[in-house]
Amino acid sequence: MLTTIALYCGVGAVAGVLAGLLGVGGGLVIVPMLVFCFNLQGFSPESIMHIALGTSMASIIFTSISSFMAHHRRKAVDWSIVRGVVLGILVGTYGGSIIAANLSSAFLKGFFVVFLYYVSFQMFTGKKPKPSRTLPGPAGLFGAGSVIGVVSSLVGIGGGTLSVPFMIWGNIPVHRAIGTSAAIGFPIAIAGSLGYVVNGLGTAGLPEFSLGYVYFPALVGIVAVSMFTAPLGVRLAHSLPVDRLKRVFALLLFLVATRMLMSLL
**How high is the pLDDT of residue 75?**
86
* Positions in the chain short of pLDDT 70: 1, 20-25, 234, 237-238, 242
β-bridge mates for residue 214, sequence order: 211
Predicted local confidence at residue 25, as pLDDT: 61
The closest alpha carbon to 257, from 133, 55, 114, 56, belongs to 114
Structural domain total, the chain: 1
- CA 28/CA 189 separation, integer angstroms: 14
What's the confidence (pLDDT) of residue 158?
80
pLDDT of residue 161: 82
What is the pLDDT at residue 1? Answer: 66
Task: Identify which of 197, 196, 161 has the alpha carbon closest to the alpha carbon of residue 178.
Answer: 161
Q: To which H or E segment does residue 115 belong?
A: helix 105-125
Phi-psi region of 171 (alpha: psi -120 to 50; beta: other; left: phi over 0): left
Residue 89's domain comprises 2-264
Cut 0.85: pTM above it:
yes
Which residues in the chain belong to E strands, given as ranges?
A: 210-211, 214-215
Confidence at residue 237, expressed as pLDDT on a 0 to 100 scale: 65
Find the length of the chain.
Answer: 265
Rounded distance between C-alpha atoms, residue 249 and residue 244, angstroms: 9
Q: What angle do helix axes 26-40 and 48-73 make, rounded to 10 degrees?
A: 150
Residue 42 CB burial class (10 angstroms; 0-12, 13-18, ≥19): exposed
